[in-house]
């Protein structure tokens, strides 16, 4: 079975600091990996996804993630945090079908 583990349920950074949200996956087949963001009282918005090809994936709002097979990781980064980045971030993987399996989420707080 496929799964993802997000390390750290809460991450706090200062505005302008590097954002690093960790995601490790478990999969017996090549995974398809996603990062979604959820702002308070809103739906899930796709930030970026990895399917095949380039392992460094760029997404919206300045976020990017790197697929590292050797480390079974798909960490999300942003060089400089903005107050508007405060939200819940979910890493997700698809198993053999198309449904998404989500991690438990990481709440990002950004302090001025």
Partner 1 sequence: AAGVIQSPRHLIKEKRETATLKCYPIPRHDTVYWYQQGPGQDPQFLISFYEKMQSDKGSIPDRFSAQQFSDYHSELNMSSLELGDSALYFCASSTTPKGLGNTIYFGEGSWLTVV
Interface residues toward partner 1, by CB under 8 A? 32, 36, 42-46, 49, 51-52, 90, 94, 97-105
Q: How far is the CB of 77 from partner 1 (least distance, A)?
A: 21
- The nearer residue to partner 1, 52 or 70, going by C-beta atoms, is 52
> How far does CA 77 lie from the centroid of its chain?
8
Q: How far is the CB of 95 from partner 1 (least distance, A)?
A: 9
- The nearer residue to partner 1, 36 or 81, going by C-beta atoms, is 36
Provide the edge-to-edge strand list for the sheet that holds 64-68: 3-7, 19-26, 73-78, 64-68, 56-58
- The nearer residue to partner 1, 19 or 37, going by C-beta atoms, is 37
Encoded tokens for 31: 């995974």
Q: How far is the CB of 101 from partner 1 (least distance, A)?
A: 7
CB contact at 8 A, 24 and 5: yes
- The nearer residue to partner 1, 28 or 97, going by C-beta atoms, is 97
| Upper half-sphere CA count for residue 75 (Cβ side, 13 Å) | 12
């Amino acid at each position: 079975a496929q799964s993802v583990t997000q390390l750290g349920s809460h991450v706090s950074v200062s505005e302008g600091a590097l954002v690093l949200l960790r995601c490790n996956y478990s999969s017996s087949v090549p995974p398809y990996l996603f990062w979604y963001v959820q702002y308070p009282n809103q739906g899930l918005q796709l930030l970026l996804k990895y399917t095949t090809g380039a392992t460094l994936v760029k997404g919206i709002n300045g976020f990017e993630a790197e697929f590292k097979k050797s480390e079974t990781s798909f960490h999300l980064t942003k060089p400089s945090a903005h107050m508007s980045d405060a939200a819940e971030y979910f890493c997700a993987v698809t198993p053999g079908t198309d449904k998404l399996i989500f991690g438990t989420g990481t709440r990002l707080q950004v302090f001025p």
